[in-house]
Structure 1
Amino acid sequence: MPVISTPLEFNEDDLYVDLEGIFGQSLFLKCEGFNFAGSIKLKAATEMVEIAEREGRLSPDSVLVESSSGNLGVALSMIAASRGYRFLCVTDSRCNLATRMMMEALGSQVHVISEPDPVGGFLGARIDHVRALCVSDDRHVWLNQYANPGNALAHYRRTAPDIARQFPDLDVLFVGAGTTGTLMGCARYFREWHRPVRIVAVDSEGSVTFGGAPGRRMIPGLGTSRRPPLLDESYVDDVVRVAEADTVRSCHRLARHGFLFGGSTGTVVTGAMAWLARQEEQELTGVAIAPDLGERYLETIYQTNWVQDLYGETVLDSQTLTTSSQAA
């Protein structure tokens, strides 16, 4: 029986869902949402805070500040509450209401950016606001998840070794691309492993992470409006870009089988299935990382009016996915 004193002490690392019965392709989904922050972002948040503490950048009067579309904000809210820091999250209007309320329930302050920067989009506007806060008051400490090596280090040290231990014959790993911390940490680990593992990055259509023109993105989590500083494409074998309508369809398909996952997971699963469908090998061992669960998306992805207003009234009438795999 686990008994803990702080919320950081609990994280379920070894839960996988076999998706073959749902999607018809063999794929194991690593579930990262079973901790008190509800997502994989707890690992990166913990690593970045502990590095800042070791470097002496945090003091009792410090105010942690970070730009986040949601999940990292919740993770930092939890850590701040546990360790006695104040935390201010700068998010934007796409952040789910449940996520904002969770951060506030944990005692954090949330600032919502309502207008995107003409060039940098919502992300650029959020980062500009964070920088202005840090200039105005030196008590603010910006961890900067977009460039902080601790973001990737957390997954090099924890996520990738967990997968390697459970799947010694792993052939391909599917990782969603947001800040690319999870992607880079896992990719670097498996580059050094005893056998080659193909790393497939899954991105949202409209994201500029791997090039291309920016476009509308309404589901928070994956995708960026500027290239992430952490990204090194030499570690990535393939990229799959996923239409948000397909993300919604995959989430609903999983839910119809009793698995309520978040938007990032729907995107990763869609991309993985598209990539696997074009492979000639029939016996690939594949793992996809599911960053979070679906409770925070009940008012968006799982709300019929929201979905139909954005993606059309017939978006859920078919379970056929339109996303196709493409090389990086």
Structure 2
Amino acid sequence: MLDDLFIRLDQLVPGSSVFLKLEGLNPAGSVKLKTAVALVTAAEESGLRFPRTHLIESTSGNLGVALAMVCAAKGYPLTLVTDPNATVRTRRLMAVLGAEVVVIETRDAHGGFLQSRIDYIGERLRADPDLHWLNQYANPAGPQAHRDRTGRAVVEGIGRLDYAFIGAGTTGTLMGCAEYLRRHSPATRIVAVDAVGSVTFGGPAARRHLPGLGTSRRPEILDTKNIDEVVLISEADSVEMCRTLARERGLLLGGSTGTVLCAVQDAAKKIPEGSVVVAISPDFGDRYLETIYDDAWVADRWPDVVGH
């Protein structure tokens, strides 16, 4: 896994240094490979018998691809429970890698799909004693992986670090990085970036279209003690940022990255000149060609974004 790849986007905060940490070059195409390896390793170390044990997990996309890769390599049966917001390409990748893919189309009480996916997993667990839920939402192995790898790589790769902007989905990356930064770079201001409509930090629920950031159910692993600020970004702004960077900078980035970079840009006036800023890019945009980068798909949801 690659931990030390950064590109510069100083134009987002004039007068300061902005580093974007690229996780899309990991073998699974996203930061979630670290989470997947950690979750499966924790299951192995818990004493479960493989390959008799059948693993199951809820995913909006990237973790599912990463888990499918890991389980294919190990010969472990895997079921991935996702929803219509996961792109068709991502769902096909999970299936090609050998996972059973279940798409849940019933929305939960907050208008999302997460609780509905988890309810389905509960039904499967009650019916199959050999089924084991990895549970990225409560499993401490995920944050630990990002504390030991992602957070460490940021500090060792950049050195002095004034601001860290990290997206909040399941919050494993955020929690792990925040813990490492608090211990080893205590002066760093840690900014959690979430999507408008997510309930993770107590905001009102609203329908969302992009996978990755945001939840309709607060993850158990979330602990806000190491977070200095929470910023919410609209999905329309996230999509516009992605499309602008593709058109003007030649960068094809995923929706979560667009969200995080919107937060960086919005904070630019408050960031003192000469600061060092790091943002985490979870994945590239090649999995979103039929959504974020498709004019018709975007126009159907945010007409004002197309043509900008």
TM range (shorter): over 0.9
The range that moved more, 117-126 or 264-273, is: 117-126
1:57 aligns with 2:48: yes
Match of 1:292 in 2: 283
For residues 106 and 249 of structure 1, the distance between their equivalents in structure 2, rounded to whole angstroms, comes to 32
Taking a change above 3 Å as real, the CA distance of residues 54 and 204 of structure 1, as seen in their structure-2 partners, is same
CA distance in structure 2 between the partners assigned to 1:35 and 1:247 by the alignment: 23
How far, CA to CA, are the matches of 1:14 and 1:159 in structure 2? 9
SS at match of 2:113: helix
State the shift of 1:182 in Å: 0.6
Question: 1:21 offset after TM fit, Å?
Answer: 4.2
1:1-328 mapped onto 2 (5 Å cutoff): 11-21=1-11, 24=14, 26-119=17-110, 121-256=112-247, 257-279=249-271, 281-312=272-303, 314-318=304-308
SS in 2 for 1:192: helix
Distance in 2, Cα, partners of 1:229 & 1:149: 9
Return the offset for 1:57. 2.1
Letter in 2 for 1:219: L
RMSD over aligned CA atoms reads 1.4
Matched residue of 1:226: which SS?
Answer: coil
* Aligned residues between the structures: 306
> Normalising to structure 2: TM-score of the pair?
0.96
Distance in 2, Cα, partners of 1:23 & 1:278: 10
Specify the code of the residue in structure 1 equivalent to 2:8.
D
> For the residues of structure 2 that align with 1:175 and 1:228, how far apart are their CA atoms?
16
- Between 1:265-274 and 1:68-77, the stretch displaced more is 265-274
| 1:130 Cα deviation after fit | 0.7
8 A contact 1:207–1:215 mirrored in 2: yes
* Structure 1 unaligned spans of 5+: 1-10, 319-328
Q: Give CA-to-partner distance per residue, 1:151-178, whole Å, 9 cap, x none.
A: 1000111001111111111111110001
Contact 2:12 2:265 in 1 (8 A): no
Q: Which has the higher contact order (CA 8 A, sep 6+)?
A: 2
Contact 2:23 2:281 (C-alpha < 8 Å) held by counterparts = yes
Question: Is the contact between residue 64 and residue 88 of structure 1 (CA under 8 Å) also seen in structure 2?
Answer: yes
Q: Which runs of 5+ in 2 are unaligned?
A: none
C-alpha distance after superposition, 1:93-114 (max 9, x if no partner) = 1110000000011011100001
Residue 234 of structure 1 and its aligned partner are, at CA, apart by: 1.5
Residue 196 of structure 1 aligns to a residue in which SS? coil
Spell out structure 1 runs of 4+ moving beyond 6 A: none
Q: Deviations over 1:36-74 (max 9, x none)?
A: 210000001101111111111242122110000000000
CA contact (8 A) 1:22 1:254 kept: no
